[in-house]
Amino acid sequence: MGRSLLEEMVELAKETMADNVKICDGSAKEFEELTQKMLADRALIALNPKTYPGCFLHRSAPHDVARTEKVTFICTRKKDDAGPTNNWMDPKEAGEKMTSLFRGSMRGRTMYVVPFSMGPVNSRFSRLGIEITDSPYVVLNMHYLVRIIPATRLSSEEPKDIMYGLHSLGDLSPEKRFIMHFPETNTVASIGSGYGGNALLGKKCFALRLASYIGRDEGWLAEHMMVLGLEDISGRITYIAGAFPSACGKTNLSMLASELPGYKVWTVSDDLCWLHVGADGRLWAINPESGFFAVAPGTGPATNPNMLAAVKRNTIFTNIALTPANEPWWEGIGTEAPEGLVDWQGRPWDKSGPAAHPNARFTAPFHQCPSASPEADKPNGVPISAIIFGGRRADTVPLLFEAFDWQHGMFLGLSIASETTAATTGEIGVLRRDPFAMLPFTGYNMADSVRHRLEVGAKLSRPPKVFHLNLFAQDDEGKYLWPGFKENIRLLKYIAERVHGEVSAKETPIGLVPNGYGIQIDEAQWEKEAVLLDTHLESLGNRLPEEMWEELAELRKRFGWY
Ligand code: OXD
Ligand code: MN
């Protein structure tokens, strides 16, 4: 029998020919040494120590600023196991390609070995991982985003249970950039990018793509969901998870600063969660991460004051603009751009484009956020009473409605979409379906993931209620119907009251709609939507559970179309 892929990956790590190897321990001393080295190499700029203590700016290569889905692959032996929504490559072919790209790729560099836990260190739901990288920027980010553990802890784990990742910046050329996932052997190989989602393997690669595959086999779910706890006047906390496609307000909602007297939002996660079926028949969530890696532009005092407070110290900023006082600046921060601003590429800002890159980021430790939930590190997680699937639609889909049951809720999750507007792309109404907000993050066949969600639901004696939220519905003049931001607390309050059976809802063909919000359902638009959903379901192939087609037929029946 040939060598296992894992053995081949270890061999591959040796072949990178790194000058030296450093086993990381996550200590403050290590952080200090790395920042000193990066400051000397001009890979970091120290920000104003009085106003932004412990903060640094990193500028990436200008062509390496976002996740690259085109070169992200799921390499399963059978193509059908990756499914119609993923790029696929045969694992042998992918392995060979990566071997040749990694050979000598770390020459002249240090190889950092970072052992870590995803999830609270003492939780039975956590997973151990190891990332080998030649990027000190990656290591710094990992100090905040995952819990780095002593390397010796890895030996207490079955090697096959460890998520193993090899990353190299390579020469950063887009033609030689690949993010290869091998879910059947729990490994990832990524080369050619230093950008977060491509290079911080703990985040999307491990915590979603590999973990979703593991969760399918073990009966749990890895989701692209924020988690918050809504505390009400009586002190009762209702935990709500929410999956929204990118740029649909997930992070802001998870940290909402409530102005409703007696109500408070506690943040458990702003991006990811792992959901397990508890002995009590409820779904329990942990946050596999321990920090935030979030988009800066648009974060300001009105949209997310908690995040602004979280990034005032010990934060790594990437691709933001810099003021003459050595402070970070981005569009939407809430202050006028000062004279003498330097743009994200280090040039004097000439106002011809944005000063900060639209995908500029900050990386900060979780507990710096004033709304961080004290329950976030609980080994068993928090019990989820409601799940929100969020979309971005100008018409058809109203502000808020509730699924009739879990299966209908999964149909809503399968259908979520975000629609571009003239303001963002110049093209109106381009609809991108993003099932469960997991389109780029599911490590196996999306249709099988629907079956798995139905199976998990069948094990829940107290399933969460499922809601669909669309904060972006517009009137005929293109004006948003819902003010959003601080008003969203009223929607969370409504959801919690539905969970506890304290308010009624109106039954309509699309689901249960809140009373008193002036919600209208436009039948003609829904007739078109049903046709679009035919195409969407079709596109997921014949492994899609029949139940989803039944849900679509039921929708038509409830409208009385046949
Ligand atoms: C994303 C992110 O791309 O969280 O979804 O960075
Ligand atoms: Mn995300």
The closest alpha carbon to 436, from 108, 141, 212, 165, belongs to: 212
Tokens of 142: 């990992």
Q: Please choose from 204, 223, 363 the residue to mutate so as to test ligand 1's pocket, defined by most ligand atoms within 8 A of CB.
A: 204
Q: Tokens 């039954």 appear where?
A: 507
* C-alpha to C-alpha distance for 368 and 306, rounded to whole angstroms: 9
* C-alpha to C-alpha distance for 167 and 138, rounded to whole angstroms: 9
- Report H helices in 293-340: 305-310
- Rounded-to-10 torsion of CA 433, 227, 128, 100: 30
Q: Which atom of ligand 1 is nearest to the CA of 271?
A: 4
Q: Which atom of ligand 1 is nearest to the CA of 293?
A: 6
Q: Please choose from 201, 271, 292, 307 the residue to mutate so as to test ligand 1's pocket, defined by most ligand atoms within 8 A of CB.
A: 271
Q: What is the pLDDT of residue 6?
A: 57
Q: Which amino acid is at 196?
A: G
CA Rg, the chain, in Å? 23
Helix axes 446-458, 211-218, angle to 10 degrees: 40
CB of 285 closer than 8 Å to CB of 229: no
Question: Which residue's alpha carbon is at the smallest distance from atom 5 of ligand 1?
Answer: 246
Cα 245 to ligand 1 centre (Å): 9
**Strand-pair partners of 295:** 361
Q: What is the pLDDT of residues 170-196, one digit of tens each?
A: 999 999 999 999 999 999 999 999 999
**pLDDT tens for the 562 residues of the chain, in order:** 345 555 666 777 788 999 999 999 999 999 999 999 999 999 999 999 999 999 999 999 999 998 999 999 999 999 999 999 999 999 999 999 999 999 999 999 999 999 999 999 889 999 999 999 999 999 999 999 999 999 888 888 888 889 999 999 999 999 999 999 999 999 999 999 999 999 999 999 999 999 999 999 999 999 999 999 999 999 999 999 999 987 788 999 999 999 999 999 999 999 999 999 999 999 999 999 999 999 999 999 999 999 999 999 999 999 999 999 999 999 999 999 999 999 999 999 999 999 999 999 999 999 999 999 999 999 999 999 999 999 999 999 999 999 999 999 999 999 999 976 544 444 666 889 999 999 999 999 999 999 999 999 999 999 999 999 999 999 889 899 898 888 999 999 999 999 999 999 999 999 999 998 889 999 999 999 999 999 999 999 999 999 999 999 999 999 999 7
Q: What is the pLDDT of residue 424?
A: 46
Query: Could you tell me if residue 16 is left (phi over 0), alpha (psi between -120 and 50 degrees) or otherwise beta?
Result: alpha
Q: Is 421 exposed, middle or buried (0-12, 13-18, 19+ CB in 10 A)?
A: middle
CB of 506 closer than 8 Å to CB of 512: yes
Task: Considering every ligand atom shown, identify the ligand nearest to the alpha carbon of residue 359 and give its number.
Answer: 1
- Residue 371 neighbours by CB under 8 Å, 6+ apart: 255, 256, 257, 264, 265, 266, 267, 306
Task: Considering every ligand atom shown, identify the ligand nearest to the alpha carbon of residue 200 and give its number.
Answer: 1
**Strand-pair partners of 470:** 391
- E strand or H helix that includes residue 178: strand 178-182
* C-alpha to C-alpha distance for 552 and 491, rounded to whole angstroms: 26
Q: Angle CA(256)–CA(291)–CA(177) in degrees, nearest 5?
A: 115
User: Is the C-alpha dihedral spanning 227, 231, 232, 238 positive or negative?
Assistant: positive
Q: Angle CA(473)–CA(249)–CA(230) in degrees, nearest 5?
A: 105
* C-alpha to C-alpha distance for 139 and 200, rounded to whole angstroms: 8
Q: State if residue 67 touches ligand 1 by the CB under 6 angstroms criterion.
A: yes
Tokens of 8: 């081949």
CA 437 to chain centre: 9
Q: State if residue 270 touches ligand 1 by the CB under 6 angstroms criterion.
A: no
**Strand-pair partners of 284:** 276, 383
Task: Considering every ligand atom shown, identify the ligand nearest to the alpha carbon of residue 225 and give its number.
Answer: 2
Cα 363 to ligand 1 centre (Å): 12
Q: Which residues are catalytic?
A: 248
Q: Is 381 exposed, middle or buried (0-12, 13-18, 19+ CB in 10 A)?
A: buried
The closest alpha carbon to 444, from 177, 184, 203, belongs to: 184
Cα 196 to ligand 1 centre (Å): 9
Q: What is the pLDDT of residue 425?
A: 42
Number of alpha helices (DSSP H) and beta strands (DSSP E) in the chain: 15, 29
Helix axes 136-145, 28-40, angle to 10 degrees: 150
First to last CA, the chain: 58
* C-alpha to C-alpha distance for 51 and 313, rounded to whole angstroms: 8
Cα 421 to ligand 1 centre (Å): 20
Task: Considering every ligand atom shown, identify the ligand nearest to the alpha carbon of residue 66 and give its number.
Answer: 1
Q: State if residue 271 touches ligand 1 by the CB under 6 angstroms criterion.
A: yes
SS3 state at 223? strand
* C-alpha to C-alpha distance for 254 and 267, rounded to whole angstroms: 5
* C-alpha to C-alpha distance for 90 and 76, rounded to whole angstroms: 6
Question: Which residue's alpha carbon is at the smallest distance from atom 4 of ligand 1?
Answer: 271
SS3 state at 42? coil
Q: What is the pLDDT of residue 286?
A: 98
SS3 state at 216? helix
* C-alpha to C-alpha distance for 507 and 436, rounded to whole angstroms: 24
User: Is the C-alpha dihedral spanning 471, 475, 480, 483 positive or negative?
Assistant: negative
CB of 116 closer than 8 Å to CB of 142: yes
Tokens of 13: 């790590």
Cα 391 to ligand 2 centre (Å): 14
Q: Which CATH architecture has domain 222-291+374-559?
A: Alpha-Beta Complex (3.90)
Question: Which residue's alpha carbon is at the smallest distance from atom 1 of ligand 1?
Answer: 246
* C-alpha to C-alpha distance for 21 and 190, rounded to whole angstroms: 18
Q: State if residue 197 touches ligand 1 by the CB under 6 angstroms criterion.
A: yes
Cα 197 to ligand 2 centre (Å): 9
DSSP readout, 297-352?
A: TT-STTT-HHHHHHTSSS-EEES-EE-TTS-EE-TTSSSPPPTT-B-TTSSBP-SS
Domain boundaries, the chain: 3-41+68-219, 222-291+374-559
Q: What is the pLDDT of residue 143?
A: 98
Q: What is the pLDDT of residue 248?
A: 84
Domain 3-41+68-219, CATH class in plain words: alpha beta
Number of residues assigned to the chain: 562
Q: State if residue 246 touches ligand 1 by the CB under 6 angstroms criterion.
A: yes
Q: What is the pLDDT of residue 260?
A: 95
